[in-house]
Structure 1
Amino acid sequence: MKRITLRADERVIEAARRRARSEQTTLSAAFRVWLAGYALAHQRLQCSDDVLGQLRGQLQVGGMPGRDEMNAR
């Protein structure tokens, strides 16, 4: 695992440490979870966009189908 150095306001760091302790974890562990979610968020959005793009031509938007349309299927 690689180490990184971050800079943040001391009060924010201490508040984050208190929260991590209350959740029975460490600030480092909480940050790793956050970092993984941050890194994967773009990938999840891209997958969603791909699926929506594939469905775009297949979905019909509008009112209820008429009787003829229902019977044609």
Structure 2
Amino acid sequence: MKNITLSADEHLIEAARQRAAAEHTTLNAKFREWLEDYVQRQRQADEAIAFIRELRKHVRTGGRKFTRDEMNER
């Protein structure tokens, strides 16, 4: 595992450490969790865009624009 150095307001760091301790974890563990989530959200967005592009190859509307109500019909 690689180390990195971050800088932030000392009061913010202390408050974050206290919150992590209250959650029975460490600030380091919370940062690793956040970093993984941060990267995963971009992957999910990229996959969603790729899926939409793939759907566009198979779905045609004939140029018709749907209203919000039509798009939300169940």
Q: TM-score range by the shorter chain?
A: 0.7 to 0.9
The C-alpha deviation readout for 1:26-73, integer Å capped at 9, x for no partner, is 00000000011112221110001011111234265755xxxxxxxxxx
Normalising by structure 2, we get a TM-score of 0.74
Q: Which residue of 2 aligns with 1:12?
A: 12
Work out the CA distance in 1 between the residues paired with 2:8 and 2:47: 33
Normalising by structure 1, we get a TM-score of 0.75
The C-alpha deviation readout for 1:6-32, integer Å capped at 9, x for no partner, is 000001101110110111100000000
Which deviates more from structure 2 when the two are superposed, residues 52-61 or residues 13-22? 52-61
Return the index of the structure with the highest Cα Rg: 1
Work out the CA distance in 1 between the residues paired with 2:45 and 2:29: 25
5+ residue gaps, structure 1, are: 64-73
